Amino acid sequence: MKFQAVLNNVHNIDARNICSLIESESVDVTITSPPYFDMKDYGCDGQIGFGQTYDAYLDDLKNVFEGVFRCTKRTGTLWVVIDALRKSGEVVPLPFDFDRKMREIGWKLREIIIWEKDKTVPWVHKGQVRNCFEYVLMFSKSDEYNFYVDNVRSCENIKKWWVKYPERYNPNGKAPGGVWDFPIPTQGSWGSGYVRHFCPLPDELIERILQLSSVEGDVVLDPFSGSGAVLAKAFGMNRAFVGIELNSEYIDMFHRYLAAVDGGGASKDIEGRSCSKDFYRAILDLRVLKYARVLYKKINDELDGALLAMRAEYSTGCTKKKNALVVVEYKMVLRQDVGCAVDKVLDVATRLSGKAPLSKFGIEPYFVTCERVCDVVARDESVSLYTERVTHKVWKKVAARELSDVLGAGVIISSICVDFDESNYE
């Protein structure tokens, strides 16, 4: 069967035979939750898990994910939702035993996520705590794998001191941590809807994984597709999908699932998923100005006060250096009474820009020296002034003709105007 004919469907075959269905190196990301070990009867002869010994169960999982490995592109990833279990009162560390099997195949464990699933049975057995989380293990096939962390950055819960230390914050926001809090949907016989599966994965969890590991048009695989939550979310986010499921009732459930969510599980925004353009620009503005302040002070400390002022402005040039976000022109006004050579000032500025802390700002600087303030400010221009100590709050806004009257205190000049109340960011 040609691979295009396989896409966007759920196939009623055994996951251990995955390579008979899917071409080698054709899948971008696999998201799945394997059958429980000897706990849940999924109603199929020869099923993985129920009625097996633990070693046989692990061997069958290894067989499945060997096939997934062969089907996965070199840049692809595998995400497995899996939990420890108890047998005869003792904990069986299934996630860790599973990882050892994956390493034998060639999978590389990259992340361990704790999924707080919230909704669990309220009772516990004597000598146990309530189990309210599962592991999400993320594997890659190679060292060069797709991981789009900027897609899931957030401005939620960012500490207030980002204003004073903008170089420490990505302008796209904060990357998610290793604990994800997504309540599971109503499940099993307790549910009143169409999702009747032992452990349905929440839309938000699937969406985050898809954002991290794929882009539109990529191929998503679930070799234990169950009710089809992964496939429906992939379809709703414009990814192609392939599902494998032994239980034909679950396949029928998947088609009802698609219909119930209006044709494919249209993607919903995760709260705080991405930062606004205003936050992005604010971080860059603060970095540009603080860079000027730090550079100004370091040059003056090294060259006995060689600079009178510095102007910082965005440049229209394209970045050429790795990890640079913007190109910025820094015009340095030299003090004539110090008489420091221009070449010396430029050499020091270049050297300082190539090492920490300035090298961490994501700024590609372009340095210019000037002998007079009028060379950096146009006659009819108004600018913002910042002091040698503070560049997150404008000190004064002045016209060009007024600049000479206040230049002794305002050392950083820019058309950029930021005005954050310092008392709110301590």
Domain ranges of the chain: 3-260, 288-424
pLDDT tens track for 122-145:
445 555 666 678 999 999 999 999
Mean pLDDT of the chain: 84
The residue ranking higher by pLDDT, 177 or 273, is 177
Name residues whose C-beta falls within 8 Å of residue 110's C-beta, 6 or more positions apart in sequence.
77, 138, 139, 140, 145, 147
- Average pLDDT for 55-66: 92
pTM (predicted TM-score): 0.75
182 phi and psi angles, rounded to 5 deg: -130, 110
pLDDT tens track for 385-401:
999 899 999 999 988 88
- Average pLDDT for 10-19: 90
Centre a 10 Å sphere on the Cβ of residue 274 and count the other Cβ atoms it contains: 18
Do 349 and 332 meet the contact criterion of CB atoms below 8 Å apart?
Answer: yes
CATH class of 3-260: alpha beta
Peptide bond into 357 cis (omega under 30): yes
The residue ranking higher by pLDDT, 246 or 218, is 218
* Residues of the chain above pLDDT 70, percent: 82
pLDDT tens track for 202-231:
889 999 999 999 999 999 999 998 878 899
| pLDDT at residue 263 is higher than 60 | no
Centre a 10 Å sphere on the Cβ of residue 208 and count the other Cβ atoms it contains: 21
CA distance 310 to 115: 50
